[in-house]
Amino acid sequence: MTGRVQLNALEFFAFHGWHAFEREKGNTFRVHISYTYDMARAALSDELEHTVDYQRIHGLVSEIMQTPCRLLEHLAAKIVHSIRIQFPEILDLEVRVEKMDPPFGSKAGSVSVTLGSTYAEYREKNGPENLSPMR
């Protein structure tokens, strides 16, 4: 029984950006994560150890957000890789990193980067040794 979990608009104040003033001043970022996995065991048992714990995913993202990156693409890739390492049972993963009020010189809502990763694609590029859980 495959199902999808979504973590919507996790908000962080962080110091990511290409320009030095962005890394000094900081900005608000939102991270959106969506993933699928086989939920049958969790659905039947009602036990946390049978699920992909979204609180742990939030913790991984919080930790990553503390280290400045220059590019949103790099930041999103770090999040994807970290989630994949910790939760190899995820079948399909999508991470969107959104920078609020980017420095365009005029009022702008946000800019975002979205990275998707299927289990097969990630395993092919990174090898099975990089998918062992570190729980």
pTM of the model: 0.88
What tens digit of pLDDT does each residue of 83-99 get? 999 999 999 999 999 99
Mean pLDDT, residues 46-74: 97
Tokens for 102, please give them.
């980017």
Sheet holding 92-100, edge to edge: 2-14, 27-38, 92-100, 110-118
Q: Above 60 in pLDDT, residue 130? A: no
Q: Above 90 in pLDDT, residue 132? A: no
What tens digit of pLDDT does each residue of 24-45 get? 999 999 999 999 999 999 999 9
- So where are the chain's domains? 2-131
The arrangement of secondary structure in 2-131, i.e. its CATH architecture, is 2-Layer Sandwich (3.30)
Arithmetic mean of pLDDT over the chain: 91
